Structure 1
Amino acid sequence: MATDNILLLPVDILIVIFRKLEMTEIRCIMSTCKTFRNIVKGDHKIWRTFSRDTLVLMDAPETRLAALSWYNRYRISRNWLHGCFKTKSLLHHYTNYMPWLTYHNSEILYLSVGSELVCYKTDNKGLPSCSKSLWRLDVPKVVRQDVRTNDISRFVIKNNVVVCGNRDGCVAAYRITDTRKKPKLECHIKDCHDEGHVEVTAVEVVDVRDQLSIITGSSDSPDLLLCTLRSGRSSASGSYNAVNVPLQDCSGTKSMALNAMSDKLAIGPNGNSKPVLFDVTTGKYLMTSPTTVNHRQAVRDIRWHNDNTILHVTHSGFMELMDIRTNQEVYRSRDPFQSSLYCVKSDGMNALVAGSAEYSRCVLFDARKAGNYVQMYFTQRNTSPVYCLDFDSTKLISAVDRGLALLNFNVDSGSQEHKDYSGHVFH
Structure 2
Amino acid sequence: MGRKGTPGPHGEAADADTDGEAEAGQAAAAGAGAQEAEAWPPGAGPGPPLWRLPEELLLLICSYLDSQALGRLGQVSRRLQRFTSRDLLWRPIARACLNSGFTRHGTDLVTNIPVKERVKVSQNWRRGRCRQGTLLKWRRNLMPWMQLEGGCLYLSQAEDIHAYQLCPDGSSLRRRPLAIFSGHEEDVCRFVLASSHVVSGGGDGKIGLHKINGTFSIKFSAHEQEVNCVDCQGGVIVSGSRDRTAKVWSLSSSQLGQCLHTIQTEDRVWSIAISPLLSSFVTGTACCGHVSPLRIWDLTSGQLMTHLGRDFHRGAGVLDVLYETPSTLLSCGYDTYIRYWDIRTSSQKCVMEWEEPHDSALYCVQSDGNHMLASGSSYYGVVRLWDRRQKGCLHAFSLSSPTSSPVYCLRFSTTHLYAAVASALHVLDFKTP
What residue is the counterpart of 1:373 in the other structure?
393
| Distance (Å, rounded) in 2 between the aligned partners of 1:188 and 1:52 | 44
1:154 partnered with 2:225? no
Q: CA deviation at 1:262?
A: 2.5
Q: Give the residue type in structure 1 aligned to 2:176.
A: K
Q: CA deviation at 1:28?
A: 4.1
| Distance (Å, rounded) in 2 between the aligned partners of 1:314 and 1:273 | 13
1:188 partnered with 2:220? yes
What residue is the counterpart of 1:135 in the other structure?
179
Question: Which structure 2 residues correspond to residues 342-357 of structure 1 after superposition, within 5 A?
Answer: 342-357=363-378
1:67 partnered with 2:112? yes
1:246 partnered with 2:278? no
Q: CA deviation at 1:243?
A: 4.0
Report the secondary structure of 1:288's partner residue. strand
- Over 3 Å counting, the alpha-carbon distance change for 1:279 and 1:128 in structure 2 is farther
Contact 1:287 1:324 in 2 (8 A): no
| Distance (Å, rounded) in 1 between the aligned partners of 2:178 and 2:91 | 39
1:217 partnered with 2:253? no
Contact 1:311 1:321 in 2 (8 A): yes
TM-score (norm 1): 0.79
Structure 1: which 5+ runs fail to align? Answer: 142-149, 417-427
Report the secondary structure of 1:201's partner residue. strand
Report which of the two has the higher share of strand.
1
Q: CA deviation at 1:289?
A: 4.6
| Distance (Å, rounded) in 2 between the aligned partners of 1:55 and 1:63 | 13
Q: CA deviation at 1:278?
A: 0.9
Aligned length: 378
- Over 3 Å counting, the alpha-carbon distance change for 1:89 and 1:240 in structure 2 is same
What residue is the counterpart of 2:44 in the other structure?
none
Question: Which structure 2 residues correspond to residues 199-278 of structure 1 after superposition, within 5 A?
Answer: 199-206=226-233, 208=235, 213-218=236-241, 220-228=242-250, 230-231=252-253, 240-241=258-259, 243-247=261-265, 251-271=267-287, 274-278=293-297
| Distance (Å, rounded) in 1 between the aligned partners of 2:176 and 2:324 | 33
When the two chains are superposed, the root-mean-square deviation of aligned CA atoms in Å is 3.0
Report the secondary structure of 2:404's partner residue. coil
Residues 365-419 of structure 1, C-alpha deviations (whole Å, 9 max, x = no match) = 22333x22222233455531110011121111111111111222222xxxx4xxx
| Distance (Å, rounded) in 2 between the aligned partners of 1:20 and 1:214 | 48
Q: CA deviation at 1:241?
A: 3.9
Contact 1:273 1:299 in 2 (8 A): no
| Distance (Å, rounded) in 2 between the aligned partners of 1:184 and 1:59 | 36
What residue is the counterpart of 2:100 in the other structure?
57
Structure possessing the higher radius of gyration over alpha carbons: 2
| Distance (Å, rounded) in 2 between the aligned partners of 1:127 and 1:68 | 17
| Distance (Å, rounded) in 1 between the aligned partners of 2:108 and 2:83 | 27
- Over 3 Å counting, the alpha-carbon distance change for 1:258 and 1:89 in structure 2 is same
Structure 2: which 5+ runs fail to align? Answer: 1-31, 38-47
What residue is the counterpart of 1:300 in the other structure?
319
Q: Give the residue type in structure 1 aligned to 2:375.
A: A
Report the secondary structure of 1:355's partner residue. strand
Q: Give the residue type in structure 2 aligned to 1:309.
A: T
